[in-house]
Amino acid sequence: QDKVAVVGAGVIGLSTAVCIAESIPSCAVTVLAEHFTPDTTSDVAAGILLPHPFPETPLHKQRCWFKDTFDHLLSICNSTDAAEAGVFLLSGWQVFQETPSTKDPYWSTVVLGFHMMTDAELQRFPKYKFGQSFTTIKCECSKYLLWLEKRLKNAGGQLHTEKITGFEQLTSSYDIIVNCSGLGSRDLADDQSLYPVRGQILRVHAPWLKHFIRDGNGHTYIFPGIHSVTLGGTRQKHNWEMSVDEADSSGIFERCCELEPSLKKSQVCSKLVGLRPTRNSLRLEREFFVHGNRQVPIIHNYGHGGGGISIHWGTALEATQLVKESINWRNPTSKL
Amino acid sequence: MGAWLSLLSFSYKVGPWWDCEMSFGSLSPLRYMRVAVIGAGVIGLSSALCIHDRYHSKVTPLSIDVYADRFTPLTTSDGAAGLWQPYLYDNGNTQETKWNKETFDYLLSLINSPDSIKMGIFTQSGYNLFTEPMPEPSWKDIVLGFRHLTPQEMKMFPDYRCGWFNTALMIEGKSYLPWLMDRLNERGVKFHQKKIVSFRELADRRVDVILNCTGVRAGELQPDPLLKPGRGQILKVDAPWLKHFIITHNPKTGVYSTPYIIPGSRSVTVGGIFQVGNWSEDNNSEDHRKVWEEGCCLVPSLKNARIMDDWTGLRPVRSSVRLDNETLQFGDKQCEVIHNYGHGGYGLTIHWGCALEAANLFGKILEKKRLTTHSRL
C-alpha cells in the first residue's frame, strides 16, 4: 500500500484526497490540516462556479479544469445527494457598466444557457449597458466539505488535525505528499510568489432572492445560497487582515443594495473574511523532496486564488494523475 | 393575520365623518355611491383598490364595503404558489393576454420599490418542459429573456424532449393579500366577515354597485354552467436549495395535471393535480402520493426534503374570464353588478389587468348615471 499524505483540508485538499482514494485503491490516504470546515478559506467563499483568470496558465487548461468541475457538480445537482452536498443550480446575470472586450468568454459554452441579456432584462440595471445571462452552479463548502469528508472515510481515508510546518515531518511516514495548503504554501513550500487577496463578505437573510447578480468588475456580487445570501466583496491584494472591517461592510451593503434594492429589507446574519491564495499561475506539478536518504515526490496543487471551487475537481483529477505517475515511478516493475 | 380576524368581528370603520347611512335624496346620486365587493381573494381586493384610487375624487363619498366568508390566509389566492404564468395559449382571447401583460408590467414596475417584499413580489426564472415540440406561448414576449432550452440543459430532464427558459415574477398571495387589505383599510374601505347569499341582500341595503368577485362559488349567487371547480392539491416542502420553477406539460391530460415545482420565499410548492368538477377541499392521500412521487422523479434532490404541509384549493375554472356588468332589478331597487370571476389557475397572473377593466366598467356605470341624472332634470 502506498501511503499518501494530503496537506490541507479546504476544497482542494479534500477533493484531491477523495479523487486519489476513490481511483487508486492501492493508496492509503490521510488528510493532515490545521483547519477543517467550517474554519477553512473555502468555507467563506460563496462557491459560485465562475472562473477566476490565471494570467500565466494556458487558457485551454483553465477551460478543461472548469469543465471537469462543472460537469462533476452538475451530476450531483441532479441527484439525491444534492441537498447534503450543498450543490445546486443558480441562474442570474453578470452586468457591465462598460462593454467588455470579450463578450463571449471561454467558459460561456460550459455554463448552461449562456446568452446576452436583452434590453428588457437590462432595464432593471439602469447603470449597466451590457450583460450576460446564464445558469451556473453554487457549491456551498460548509456542506460540501463535510460531504467530501464522509466520502473520503467511505473510501478508507483518514483525517488528522495537525499543522505541518515542513515536509520533512512527513517523509518518514509517507510515500507521496500532496500539497494542497493554499496560502500556507508561502511558508511550507517557500513560495514567495503566492500572496493573499483579501475578501470580505456579508451573509444576509433574503429568501426571496433567487438569482445571482455580479458586477463584471468583480467588486460587487450577490450570490443566494441555501440559507443565506452572500454579499460581496473586496479584492485587497497583499492584505493579511483577518478581522472584519466595518467600512468594507457598509461599502459592500450599499453597492449591493444599489444593484438589488430589495436587499435594503434584509437582515445581516454574519460578516466574514477570507484570504484568496493568489498566484499568477496555478502550481500543479510534481517536485522531489529530499530528506536524508529519502526522495519523496510532492505533488503541489495550490494557488487557486478566487477560483478554487470553480476548478477544484479538474485540478484534483490532474493531481491524481500525477500521483498515479509517481506510484509507477516508484514501482517500475508493476508495469511489466 | 390575527389583527385582521379581530377587526372583522364587527364592522370596522375608519373614514370621513359623512361615511354613514344617509337618505338617498339629500345628495345628488353621483355625489354618493355605495359599492359592495363580494369576495376577498386577489380579484376582490385588487378590484376594490383600483376602483377606489380612480374614482374616490370623482365620487364623493365613495363608500366601499368588502364582504367575504373567507379572508387571507384562507382564500384560494393564499394557497396558490404565486408564479406569474398564464396557460400556454390564449386561443384567440387576446383580451386576456392583454390583461396578463398589464399585470406583469405592473408587478415588474414595482420590483425595485420599497414595498416589493411586503407585497410578495420577486423575480424567479425557470423551465417549462415538453415531451414533444410545442408552439411558442402567447406570453413569450411578456416575460423576460424567453428562450428555448439547449441540448445540454435538456440532459437534466431525461423524460422530456424540449422546453423553454424564462425569467418571470412571483406574487405570493400570503403577502400580497394582507398588503392589499392594509392599503384598502388606509382608504377607509370596510371589511365584513359575512357570506352574501343573494344580490338582493345587498340591493336591500341600497348598494349601488356590486363587484362580484366570488371565484369558484359564483354559481351560488347566479347559476353559471361555464364555471367549474378545478381542484388542485399541493405539497409545501422545505427545499431551500431549489431556485427555479419547473413546470411540465402534457397536452393530452391538460394544464397542471403533470408535475410542477415552484420555489417560494418560505417553501417550495410541489403540485400536479387539476381535477375539473371535484368540489372536495380535503387533502387526498392518493393525490399526495402522485404529487410526491412524480415531483421526486422530476427533481431527485427532493427525496431528502421535508414535507411541511398539504393544501387543497379549487381553481375557478371557466372557458374565459367573466368580466362584464349587468343591471339587476329588485322591485323598485336597481343595482349594477360587475362580474369579475372565473380566472382558473391564473388569477394572480391576470388580476391587475382585470382590476383595471373592472374600473373601466365602473366608469361606464358612472357615465350612465350622469346621463340618467341629466334626463331627470
- Give the model confidence (pLDDT) of A11-65 as tens digits: 999 999 999 999 999 999 999 999 999 999 999 999 999 999 899 999 999 999 9
Which residues are registered as beta bridge partners of A290?
A: A295
Q: What is the pLDDT of residue A332?
A: 61
| Nearest CA distance, B279 vs chain A (angstrom) | 33
* B258 DSSP assignment: S
Is A202 in contact with A273 (CB distance < 8 Å)?
Answer: no
Interface test with A, best of B104, B112, B116, B117 (most A CBs within 10 A): B117
Nearest to A80 among B124, B150, B303 (CB): B303
Distance CA A248, CA A274 (A): 13
Q: Concatenated DSSP letters for A116-162?
A: EPPHHHHTT-TT-SEEEEEEEEEE-HHHHHHHHHHHHHHTT-EEEE-
CB A216 within 8 A of CB A94: yes
Record the pTM.
0.92
State the nearest Cα–Cα gap between B146 and chain A, in angstroms: 10
**Interface contacts A/B by beta carbons within 8 Å:** 94
**pLDDT (0 to 100) of residue B30:** 58
Strand segments, DSSP code E, in A238-318 are 267-278, 283-291, 294-302
On whether any CB of chain A is under 8 Å from the CB of B147, the answer is yes
Whole-number Å distance between alpha carbons of B250 and B134: 10
3-state secondary structure string, B72-121? CCCCHHHHCCCECCCCCCCCCCHHHHHHHHHHHHHHHHCCCCCCHHHHCE
> Given this model, what pLDDT does residue B23 score?
36
What are phi and psi for residue B71, nearest 5 degrees?
A: -120, 165
Least CB–CB distance from B122: residue in A88, A112, A210: A210
The amino acid sitting at A61 is K
The reply to whether residue A262 touches residue B240, judged by beta carbons under 8 angstroms, is no
Q: Which residues of A touch B145 (CB under 8 A)?
A: 115, 117-118, 120-121, 133
The Cα–Cα gap between B249 and B162 comes to 11
| CB-CB contact of A118 with A109 (8 Å) | no
- Phi then psi for residue B219, to 5 deg, are -60, -20
Q: In angstroms, what CA-CA distances link A42 with A175, A212, A298?
A: 27, 19, 23
Closest chain B C-alpha to A45 CA, distance in angstroms: 17
ipTM score for this prediction: 0.95
Residues in binding site of A = 41-42, 221, 276, 306
Q: Do B300 and A120 count as a contact with CB atoms less than 8 A apart?
A: no
With H, G, I as helix, E, B as strand and everything else as coil, classify residue A231: strand
The predicted structure's pLDDT at residue A294: 85
Chunked in runs of 10, what are the mean pLDDT values of chain B (377 residues)?
A: 49 40 41 92 98 91 96 97 97 96 98 96 98 96 98 97 98 98 97 97 95 98 98 98 98 95 98 98 98 98 96 98 96 94 98 98 92 55
Distance (Å, whole) CA B362 – CA B359: 5
- 3 state DSSP class of A115: strand
What average pLDDT score do residues A247-271 get? 97
Burial B120-133 (b: 16+ CB within 10 A, else e): bbbbbbbbbbbbee
Query: Could you give the CA distance from residue A158 to residue A31 in angstroms, rounded to a whole number?
Result: 6
CB contact under 8 A, A82 and B123: no
Task: Report cis status (omega within 30 of 0) of the bond before A233.
Answer: yes
- Sheet of A158-161: strand order equals A158-161, A27-33, A2-7, A176-179, A294-302, A283-291
Contacts of residue A77 in chain B, CB cutoff 8 Å? 156, 301
Chain B neighbors of A74, CB-CB under 8 A: 156
Name which of B120, B124, B83 is nearest B269 in CA terms: B83
Number of neighbouring beta carbons within 10 Å of residue A199: 22
Partner-chain contact A113 B116, CB within 8 Å: no
| Yes or no, beta carbons of B117 and A89 under 8 Å apart | no
Of the candidates A140, A197, A148, A161, the residue with the CA atom closest to the CA atom of residue A13: A148
Q: Distance (Å) from the C-alpha of residue A315 to the closest C-alpha of chain B?
A: 23
Rounded CA-CA distance A256/A247 in Å is 14
Q: Taking the CB of residue A156, how many other CB atoms lie within 10 A of it?
A: 13
Task: Pick the residue from chain B with its C-alpha nearest to A264.
Answer: B114
B197 near B220, Cβ under 8 Å?
Answer: yes
Angstroms from B142 CA to nearest CA on chain A: 10
Residue of A nearest to B112 (CA): A261
With an 8 Å Cβ cutoff, are A90 and B123 in contact? no
Interatomic CA distance for residues B261 and B251, integer angstroms: 18
Whole-angstrom Cα distance, residue A252 to residue A232?
6
C-alpha distances (whole Å) from B136 to each of A198, A256, B141, B146 are 48, 35, 10, 10
Do residue A83 and residue B124 have CB atoms under 8 angstroms apart?
A: no
Q: How many CB atoms lie within 10 A of CB B76?
A: 25
B241 to A261: CB separation less than 8 angstroms, yes or no: no
Q: Is B333 exposed, middle or buried (0-12, 13-18, 19+ CB in 10 A)?
A: middle
pLDDT (0 to 100) of residue B372? 66
Report chain A residues whose CB lies below 8 A from the CB of B123: 210-211
Using pLDDT thresholds of 50, 70 and 90, give the confidence band for residue A238: very high
Q: What three-state secondary structure class fits A27?
A: strand
Q: pLDDT tens, A279-289?
A: 999 999 999 99
pLDDT score at B4: 58
- pLDDT, residue B58, reads 87
Phi-psi region of B73 (alpha: psi -120 to 50; beta: other; left: phi over 0): alpha
Q: Give dist(CA B76, CA B314) in Å, integer.
A: 7
